[in-house]
Amino acid sequence: MSESLPQLSLGAATFGLKSSNRAETFVRLQGKDEVQPLMDLFKSFGYKEVDTARIYTDSEAALGELDKSSLADLRISTKVHPFITPLTIENILQQFDESLAALGVENVDLLYLHHPDDKTPIEESLEGVDILYKQGKIRRFGLSNHSPSQVDEIVSICKSKGYIAPTMYQGLYSPIARTGYLEIRDLLKKHGIHYYAYGIMAAGLLTGKNKFDEEPKEDARLHSTSFLSGHLRERYWHREVFAALDLLAKAAEKEGIPFAQATNRWMRHHSGLTKEDGILVGASSFKQLEQNLLDLEMGPLSPTLVDAYENAWKSVEHRRIAAPGSSDKVK
């Protein structure tokens, strides 16, 4: 573990119970027998942050099944979501209490507002978060998928009302989807808010396993039977995106580096993220998590490969993939 690089947080969206429905969820790891080894592996690398959410089906409950010693020194972040119930004070408190019950803990490190809520005045949502903070149930507050103008408004309200202010922001960021990060980073820096990147492998596309004219494997998020495939294909499934992916795959192959490893190393060393920022590391198997962690521990890429990543980005920049405030609501 390096103290000078972006922090790593274990993304628990793929965690579920043995009874969880894989077909219409993120779940790929079911029950304590499958989840506990990943948590132990992650901690063995020296990392102690885990990220979940109320909307991630049984993710919180899966974490709650783990050995209590596994959770004791973890920094847990979770999220309340307006797609479950509008983020009124009452609903925020209820969603969060359900999270605590599922996790089997009395408090968490960080609570995010998972997505903007167009049905509830933001002042009310922020008051709900502040109540939880004053009750000692959360230590920090963050935002996810909010636009720059929404972040600015929220910070202003928190300051004027004396509420806990956001210090973390979670957003989509990968080598081919940089618009959201680039458009909000200066504002976040101004307000002292740190950035945590999710979706760094672009739904698996930055591993080189998919071809534009071929159907992804059945268990993949991009497969036509996946509940997310429509949104994700709208986001990524374009010939010019695959042309950029091909450019990167060939550049990595030329240097004898697996494509996924090159992407992990780009995110850790060349993305502009600092040691106060972070990267969500996801996995659908023990082997995949182990390889991701090993890759993320490696050093920077060669200048030639970094240039390839820049050229690939320039070729798709105009698509504005998942820009803040866009209609793209997938996570």
Which residues are catalytically annotated? 56
* Residue 215 near residue 222, CB atoms below 8 Å: no
Residue among 4, 10, 3 nearest 196 (CA): 10
Structure tokens at 128: 């709900």
* Residue 176 near residue 241, CB atoms below 8 Å: yes
* Cα–Cα dist 194/196, whole Å: 7
Residue among 104, 36, 110 nearest 72 (CA): 104
Residue among 196, 186, 194 nearest 165 (CA): 194
* Cα–Cα dist 63/65, whole Å: 5
Q: SS3 for 195? A: strand
* Residue 251 near residue 304, CB atoms below 8 Å: yes
